[in-house]
């Protein structure tokens, strides 16, 4: 067993117990904006209003560029009663005990790491974005195990991001104080977490995307984007992943199969509507990612994690830019 992984996991569990989990998980309502046919002035205005001003500059940090506040209208339009219901139902797959549940087969060990092990060089010294990082346990482990240059974990659930920061803080405290690691931004000082919705409010915002990562991780996330934001939202997210990758960068994709969606289809009205309207199925993802609309050049199977539960034996693919 990897003791450091176990340590991180235990820390997260302790935090969860100590935390007041009643805290609201919903985004504060953001001001509404009209998005219609836009000319460049309107686009600029939209960008400036939606993104912190520093993010608007080309030379801004990845963190700021990612910090697009969750303001998707579908998030705001939920009624109070629906949001109460959603709070308990983890509508984004934002499970607070996800890693406890997922990794129970082999004590504190995420079997996806065994698949990644064979690709050590793919991650080493690379800039990584982990979309839907949950409590950050896997993000932190990836940073350590593969000696990435830097890694940013992004999650739609603010509470989970707070948890991730706390786990990271404890992790830093548990290490002997090392000014040099801090100065050189090496583990664990090369990890950051950001709160935000990866699905942009409008496709037009893709126009300002800049390549900034060498690896993008999209693990067990597609179902949740698909259910909440429909075919359009998921396609936009795939295009955004491509645009955020540097040339020769790679997307690591672990998608849920469609059979896996049905169980969650009634969580909210929006999800039910999106589920019924799906025309872009997981078996179409590869073709879409490799099409001219997105642009990936090639794809290969990394492996299938040896999980004791069939539902978690999801093939993991790499798409090369």
Report, in Å, the least distance between residue 194 CB and ligand SAM.
9
Nearer to ligand SAM by Cβ, of 101 and 120: the residue is 101
Contact 301, 315 (CB under 8 A): yes
Interface residue with ligand SAM among 129, 143, 164, 225 (CB under 6 A) is 225
Assess 141 for contact with ligand SAM (CB under 6 A): no
Rounded CA separation 173/176 (Å):
7
Report, in Å, the least distance between residue 112 CB and ligand SAM.
7
Nearer to ligand SAM by Cβ, of 7 and 181: the residue is 7
- What would the DSSP string read from start to end of 241-276? HHHHEEEEEEEEEEPPPGGGTGGGTTSSHHHHHHHH
Nearer to ligand SAM by Cβ, of 190 and 228: the residue is 228
Nearer to ligand SAM by Cβ, of 224 and 296: the residue is 224
What residue is closest to ligand SAM based on CB? Answer: 132
Nearer to ligand SAM by Cβ, of 60 and 234: the residue is 234
Report, in Å, the least distance between residue 250 CB and ligand SAM.
16
Residues in the interface with ligand SAM (CB under 6 A) total: 21
Interface residue with ligand SAM among 8, 134, 190, 236 (CB under 6 A) is 134
Contact 230, 239 (CB under 8 A): no
Residues 195-214 that bind ligand SAM (CB under 6 A): 197-199
Cα distance from N-terminal residue to C-terminal residue, the chain: 35
Contact 19, 163 (CB under 8 A): yes
Segment contacting ligand SAM (CB under 6 A): 6-14, 92-100, 205-213, 270-278? 92-100
Assess 241 for contact with ligand SAM (CB under 6 A): no
Handedness of CA 39, 42, 48, 49 (dihedral sign): negative
Rounded CA separation 67/198 (Å):
9
Contact characters 104-133, ligand SAM, x per CB under 6 A:
---------------------------xx-
Other CB atoms within a 10 A radius of the CB of residue 48 amount to: 12
Contact 184, 26 (CB under 8 A): no
Nearer to ligand SAM by Cβ, of 132 and 179: the residue is 132
Strands 213-219 and 316-320: unpaired
Rounded CA separation 69/196 (Å):
6
Assess 94 for contact with ligand SAM (CB under 6 A): yes
- What would the DSSP string read from start to end of 145-158? HTT-SEEEEEES-H
19, 106, 149, 301: CA torsion to nearest 10: -130
Segment contacting ligand SAM (CB under 6 A): 113-121, 193-201, 203-211, 272-280? 193-201
Contact 25, 154 (CB under 8 A): no
Assess 193 for contact with ligand SAM (CB under 6 A): no
Nearer to ligand SAM by Cβ, of 255 and 294: the residue is 255
Assess 160 for contact with ligand SAM (CB under 6 A): yes
Contact 317, 300 (CB under 8 A): yes
Assess 155 for contact with ligand SAM (CB under 6 A): yes
Query: Residues in the site for ligand SAM, rule: CB under 6 A?
Result: 92-94, 98, 131-132, 134, 138, 154-157, 160, 197-199, 219-221, 224-225
């Amino acid at each position: 067993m990897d003791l450091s992984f176990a340590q991180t996991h235990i820390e997260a569990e302790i935090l969860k117990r100590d935390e007041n989990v009643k805290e609201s998980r919903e985004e504060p309502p953001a001001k509404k904006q009209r998005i219609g046919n836009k000319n460049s002035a309107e686009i600029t205005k939209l960008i400036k209003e939606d993104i912190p001003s520093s993010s608007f500059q080309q030379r801004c940090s990845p963190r700021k560029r990612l910090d697009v506040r969750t303001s998707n209208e579908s998030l705001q339009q939920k009624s109070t009663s629906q949001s109460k219901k959603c709070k308990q139902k983890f509508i984004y797959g934002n499970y607070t005990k996800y890693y406890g549940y997922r990794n129970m087969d082999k004590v504190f060990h995420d079997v996806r790491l065994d698949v990644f092990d064979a690709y050590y060089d793919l991650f080493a010294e690379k800039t990584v974005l982990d979309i839907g990082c949950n409590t950050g346990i896997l993000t932190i482990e990836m940073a350590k195990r593969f000696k990435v240059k830097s890694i940013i974990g992004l999650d739609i659930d603010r509470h989970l991001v707070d948890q991730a920061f706390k786990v990271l803080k404890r992790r830093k405290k548990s290490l002997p104080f090392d000014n040099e690691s801090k100065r050189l931004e090496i583990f664990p000082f090369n990890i950051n977490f950001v709160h935000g919705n990866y699905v942009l409010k409008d496709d037009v915002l893709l126009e300002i995307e800049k390549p900034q990562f060498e690896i993008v991780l999209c693990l067990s996330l597609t179902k949740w984007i698909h259910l909440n934001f429909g075919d359009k939202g998921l396609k936009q997210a795939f295009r955004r992943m491509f645009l955020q990758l540097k040339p020769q960068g790679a997307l690591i994709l672990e998608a849920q199969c469609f059979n896996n969606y049905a169980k969650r289809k009634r969580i909210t009205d929006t999800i039910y509507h999106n589920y019924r309207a799906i025309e872009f199925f997981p078996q179409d993802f590869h073709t879409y990612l490799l099409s001219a609309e997105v642009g990936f050049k090639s794809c290969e199977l990394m492996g299938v994690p040896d999980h004791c539960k069939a539902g978690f034996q999801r093939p993991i693919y790499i798409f090369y830019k």
